């Protein structure tokens, strides 16, 4: 399978999984907030903050209700956020974001997947410096043009609009399935989303933030496929919220 076919095969699946991971992550944040300060929003600032994010990201109300109930169940612990760093094929780096109520379980499963699919665990800090954290909105190229997005980004105070990657063997179908990224901050993110809604532009929000590579690495077709499989298997783990890579 070549680069183009590999990317096409995983594109729609990745977008669906991203939404599922968003809901899962928000659910975990609800549980942790309730464990910390109880289910009453008038006295729990942490829960209020999560509910503001729920509204911002259009997360269904039943996700919140279900996890408020879950937080009160016997034996349910608060979730802890962890980051693991991984080397993939062809010099590619990956950052794995985790929210877990059982750290030993999550690290054991991540190590198992990395070993089984040919990656290598990296020392803390050896990969993370290659990325920067930002709030990101993803807009399919068929939903808006670059000039329109630049105008929205300027009005909302966003940092940048990143063009989708292009390759020599791109077809029209390839191009139509790619995404612009509007890069913002926590302070202006709601404004960016509001302006996109005003313009009637469909978008996909982040899950609270994203890690963007400072530079990207281009690898051969075999490494593309192997790295894709490794990332896919990591994302299948319930404790894993997101996997970021500097692969082009």
146 and 185, same structural domain?
A: yes
158 pLDDT more than 50: yes
113 and 167, same structural domain?
A: no
When mean pLDDT is compared across 48-62, 158-172, 181-195, the lowest value belongs to 158-172
Q: Among 53, 71, 89, identify where a domain stops.
A: 71
What pLDDT, on a 0 to 100 scale, did the predictor assign at position 177? Answer: 80
What pLDDT, on a 0 to 100 scale, did the predictor assign at position 1? Answer: 46
Average pLDDT over residues 167-190: 86
Give the length of the chain.
248
Which residues fall within 8 angstroms of residue 50, CB to CB, at 6 or more apart?
26, 29, 30, 33
Average pLDDT over residues 176-202: 92
Beta bridge partners of 97: 83, 242
Domains held by the chain: number: 3
172 pLDDT more than 90: no
C-beta neighbour count of 114 within 10 angstroms: 22
Half-sphere exposure of 41 (CA within 13 A, CB side): 9
What pLDDT, on a 0 to 100 scale, did the predictor assign at position 47? Answer: 95
3-62, pLDDT tens digit by residue?
555 555 555 666 677 788 889 999 999 999 999 999 998 999 999 999 998 988 889 999
CATH number for the domain spanning 208: value is 3.30.70.980
What pLDDT, on a 0 to 100 scale, did the predictor assign at position 6? Answer: 52
234 and 159, same structural domain?
A: no
Query: Does an H or E element contain 96, and which?
Result: strand 93-100
79-120, pLDDT tens digit by residue?
999 999 999 999 999 999 999 999 999 999 999 999 999 999
What pLDDT, on a 0 to 100 scale, did the predictor assign at position 3? Answer: 52
202 and 225, same structural domain?
A: no
Q: What is the mean pLDDT of the chain?
A: 90
229 and 111, same structural domain?
A: yes
207 pLDDT more than 90: no
Q: How far apart are CA 85 and CA 94, in angstroms?
A: 6
Q: How far apart are CA 54 and CA 110, in angstroms?
A: 28
- For residues 5 and 238, the model is more confident at 238
Report the predicted TM-score, pTM, of the whole model to 2 decimal places: 0.83
201 and 139, same structural domain?
A: yes
C-beta neighbour count of 141 within 10 angstroms: 16
122 pLDDT more than 80: yes
165 and 149, same structural domain?
A: yes
- For residues 6 and 137, the model is more confident at 137
Q: How far apart are CA 157 and CA 211, in angstroms?
A: 19
Cβ-contact 78, 35 below 8 angstroms: yes
Cβ-contact 100, 80 below 8 angstroms: yes
Provide the percentage of residues in the chain whose pLDDT is more than 70.
Answer: 94
CATH number for the domain spanning 57: value is 1.10.10.200
Banded pLDDT at 165 (limits 50, 70, 90): confident
205 pLDDT more than 70: yes
184 and 116, same structural domain?
A: no
Write 196-202 long-range contacts (CB < 8 A, 24+): 196/137, 196/139, 196/152, 199/144, 199/148, 199/152, 201/139, 201/143, 201/144, 201/148, 201/152, 202/139, 202/140, 202/143
Q: Which domain holds residue 190?
A: 130-213
What one-character-per-residue DSSP string does 164-196 give? PP--TT--HHHHHT-EEEEEE-TTTHHHHHHHH
């Amino acid at each position: 399978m070549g680069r183009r076919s590999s990317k096409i095969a995983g594109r729609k699946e990745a977008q669906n999984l991203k939404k599922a991971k968003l809901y899962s992550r928000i659910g975990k944040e609800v549980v942790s907030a309730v464990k910390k300060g109880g289910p009453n929003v008038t006295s729990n600032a942490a829960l209020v903050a999560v509910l503001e994010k729920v509204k911002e990201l259009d997360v269904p109300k039943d996700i919140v209700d279900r996890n408020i109930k879950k937080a009160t169940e016997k034996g349910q612990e608060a979730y802890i956020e962890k980051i693991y760093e991984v080397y993939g094929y062809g010099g590619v780096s990956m950052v794995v974001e985790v929210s877990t109520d059982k750290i030993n379980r999550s690290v054991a499963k991540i190590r198992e997947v990395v070993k089984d699919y040919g990656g290598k665990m990296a020392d803390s800090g050896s990969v993370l410096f290659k990325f920067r954290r930002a709030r990101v909105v993803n807009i399919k190229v068929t939903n808006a043009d670059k000039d329109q997005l630049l105008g929205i980004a300027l009005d909302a105070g966003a940092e940048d609009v990143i063009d989708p990657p292009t390759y020599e063997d791109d077809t029209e179908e390839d191009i139509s399935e790619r995404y612009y990224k509007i890069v913002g901050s926590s302070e202006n993110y709601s404004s960016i989303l509001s302006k996109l809604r005003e313009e009637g532009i469909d978008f996909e929000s982040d899950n609270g933030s994203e890690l963007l590579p400072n530079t990207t690495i281009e690898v051969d077709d075999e490494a593309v496929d192997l790295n894709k499989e490794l990332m896919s298997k990591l994302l299948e783990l319930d404790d894993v919220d997101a996997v970021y890579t500097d692969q082009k």
